[in-house]
Amino acid sequence: MTDDLEQLYQSTYTAVVRFLYRKVWDAERAEDLAQEVFVRALSHRPEKPRAWVFAVAANLARDEARAAMRRKRHLTLLKGDPIAQPALSPAADDSVERDEQMASVHEALNTLTPRDREILLLWDAGLSYPEIAAQTGLAVGAVGTTLARARRRLVDAHDRQHSRTGTDAAHS
Amino acid sequence: MPTTGSTRERGPMRHIPEDELHAYLDQALSRTQCVEIESHLAECPSCRGMRDGIAALRDRTTALLAKLAPPARPLPPYERLSRVAAEVATQRRRRLHLLAWAASLVVAVGLGWSASSFTRDSAARGAARAVARVSGPAEAGSATPSGLPTTPAPPAAMAQAGQSARARATDPERPGNAVRSSTSTPALAARSSRSSSAGHPTARSPQAMAAAASDSARAVREATLRVLSPTPTLELTNLDRSGRQEDLEGMWRTMPWDGTKTAAGEVPHIDGLPVVQVQVQSGDQSASAVTVVAQQLASGQVIRTIEGPATDVSQILSRHGLGEVDSAMSADGSGRLLPDGGHAMAMQVGDRMLAITGDLPSDSLRAMIRRLNAELRSK
């Protein structure tokens, strides 16, 4: 049993971190939460560990988002103005480019509905249709439909951004 | 061929829906469904085109999402996680034990109360004794009211005893941590385990939790030791973590036992116990050397005898969280009680200091250090 979990840890830890990162947008926090997920798995010994791990990760990320929202609201009340996005730290060119690419995908992902986004991220994390269905309450048959829509929207939103910046560049 | 004919018939009629092609490419369909789709694709160029488009869309999605990844970092060792999980489990068990202990205390108090209604007088005497035992010398006067034997209700007396213990636990004037830590460390332990469940199983938390756990266990022991020592004549210091050699700063040499004896003359130690380790920190003159002798009891416990210039020894002691050892102690070795019940005793003779540390009841340590001191002075 321990061996099963260890194997799962080796094979999915990175995917869990990535999954969490796409929800909390903080690499260290994502790692902390991922380790928490596996520590919990060790004491719970779930029957379907892979699905369980992502379900717990989704819950932790949701709690985290709620807490962040509370903090943000509180700060907004205090300051009376919206929270500024954290400034990108000046870094090497490739890292800046990487950050820009990431920001544009992030933005495109934000145009999806929460459900579509969740299903797309679960699929990308390596869950099967039945696992996604079990976690989201969707019918297995509807997973394909949702994924079809989510993929199209993500790519469309991303392409729209780029054609926009392309037009801007052409105008200037 | 009938099968080809039927496919040809069906092909243009029923194109494959988009979501089904996604599911097909995601390998989420049954074998039968796959066969069906593949045979249709073989016949239908428009569905093939659609399939290729969806495959490209799939790949682009994957490529885009791949950019949303934190910087790659090495996988933390699995052993670390299982260690944290084990710690968490231990914490949970320990809390249950603490609960059981508290419950048994409640039962004990309850029994005392009901017994009192039958034998009021004897119970009153018992409570008076309990108060005398619970309150240390400092509080003995205040915590034992002169009118106590005539106080009719023993639970009141027990409440008073509890109050005196509580007063000591919360009194900020007392730098001692024995009783106080018995109340504060379980909270700390609970906090640390909670914070880990909130998602901080970082590298330091297992150690912090382990420390908190052992602290709380020790605090309970120390609390009893503390209240049971009514007339302390020696200094109690908080050198319980004597096994941690990294706390001994400076240049230390580990020496063979025989070599030490001949080189530095008589090294203070307990006769008749096997010597585990001898460490010597040599100063400029041999007179300023500090020696630490580790000896093992039959139980496996290790006690350490530390001897050296008073300032050096007290520095070692203070590095263990003791704070300053009062160096103005009288030269005849009769110290005063530092208000914390630790597992170390220190005694100053002139400008030298002798300390003994170990996870032993304080009266055992006291007896040992008295004997050692007597031996040293007779030489």
Does B18 contact A at CB distance below 8 Å? yes
Contact across the interface for B201 and A32, Cβ inside 8 Å:
yes
Place of tokens 């599911």: B23
Judge contact between B379 and B266, C-beta under 8 A.
Answer: yes
Give the pLDDT confidence score for residue B278 in this predicted structure: 77
Contact across the interface for A148 and B76, Cβ inside 8 Å:
no
For B83-112, the pLDDT digits (tens) are 888 888 888 777 777 777 777 777 777 777
- Output the CA angle B220-B225-B231, nearest 5 degrees: 150
Give the pLDDT confidence score for residue A19 in this predicted structure: 95
Does B203 contact A at CB distance below 8 Å? no
For B217-259, the pLDDT digits (tens) are 555 454 433 333 333 333 333 334 444 444 455 566 676 666 5
- pLDDT of residue A2 exceeding 80, the answer is no
Judge contact between A8 and A46, C-beta under 8 A.
Answer: no
| Of A99-113, B34-48, B353-367, minimum mean pLDDT range | B353-367
Tokens, residue B85: 């999980």
Place of tokens 């696992």: A131
Distance of alpha carbon B201 from alpha carbon B199, whole angstroms: 6
Confidence tier at B212 by pLDDT (50, 70, 90)? low
Cα–Cα nearest to B226, from B354, B343, B355: B343
Share of chain B above pLDDT 70, in %: 47
Distance in Å, alpha carbon of A140 to nearest chain B alpha carbon: 9
Distance of alpha carbon A5 from alpha carbon A42, whole angstroms: 7
Could you tell me the end-to-end alpha-carbon distance of chain A, in angstroms, rounded to an integer?
A: 62
- Residue with the bigger pLDDT between B75 and A76: it is B75
Residues of B in contact with A140 (CB under 8 A): 28
**Interface with A, mutate which of B25, B29, B61 (most A CBs under 10 A):** B61
For A25-38, the pLDDT digits (tens) are 889 999 999 999 99
The Cβ of residue B216 has, within 10 Å, a number of other Cβ atoms equal to 23
- Residue with the bigger pLDDT between A115 and B223: it is A115
What is the separation of C-alpha B165 from the centre of its chain, rounded to a whole number of angstroms?
23
Nearest CA in chain B to A33: B199
Instruction: Tell which B residues from 85 to 104 touch A, by Cβ distance under 8 Å.
Output: 85, 88-89
For B347-371, the pLDDT digits (tens) are 777 777 888 877 777 777 777 777 7
What average pLDDT does range A80-93 have in this prediction? 48
- pLDDT of residue B281 exceeding 80, the answer is no
* Core vs surface per residue A87-109: b (16+ CB within 10 A) or e: eeeeeeeeeeeeeeebebbeebb
Give ipTM to 2 decimals. Answer: 0.82
Share of chain A above pLDDT 90, in %: 55
Distance in Å, alpha carbon of A171 to nearest chain B alpha carbon: 27
Looking at every residue in chain B, the average pLDDT score rounds to 63
Give the pLDDT confidence score for residue B343 in this predicted structure: 66
Contact across the interface for B22 and A33, Cβ inside 8 Å:
no
Give the pLDDT confidence score for residue B122 in this predicted structure: 55
Judge contact between A120 and A151, C-beta under 8 A.
Answer: yes
**Interface with A, mutate which of B20, B25, B37, B67 (most A CBs under 10 A):** B67
Confidence tier at B56 by pLDDT (50, 70, 90)? very high
Tokens, residue A10: 């080796």
**Interface with B, mutate which of A29, A63, A151 (most B CBs under 10 A):** A151
Tokens, residue B143: 């915590």
Nearest residue, CB atoms, B61 vs list A98, A145, A155: A155
The Cβ of residue A17 has, within 10 Å, a number of other Cβ atoms equal to 24
Give the pLDDT confidence score for residue B163 in this predicted structure: 46
Residues of A in contact with B73 (CB under 8 A): 27, 31
What average pLDDT does range B277-284 have in this prediction? 69
Contacts 24+ apart (CB under 8 A), A53-58: A53/A8, A53/A12, A53/A16, A54/A16, A54/A19, A54/A122, A54/A125, A54/A127, A54/A131, A54/A135, A55/A135, A57/A16, A57/A19, A57/A20, A57/A33, A58/A19, A58/A23, A58/A118, A58/A122, A58/A135
Q: CB under 8 Å to B322, separation ≥6 — which residues?
A: B237, B238, B239, B338, B342, B344
- Residue with the bigger pLDDT between B230 and A171: it is A171
Q: How far lies B13's CA from each of B10, B41, B47, in Å?
A: 5, 13, 12
Q: DSSP letter for B292, please.
A: E
In this structure, is the dihedral angle defined by the CA atoms of residues B267, B268, B273 and B275, taken in order, positive or negative? Answer: negative
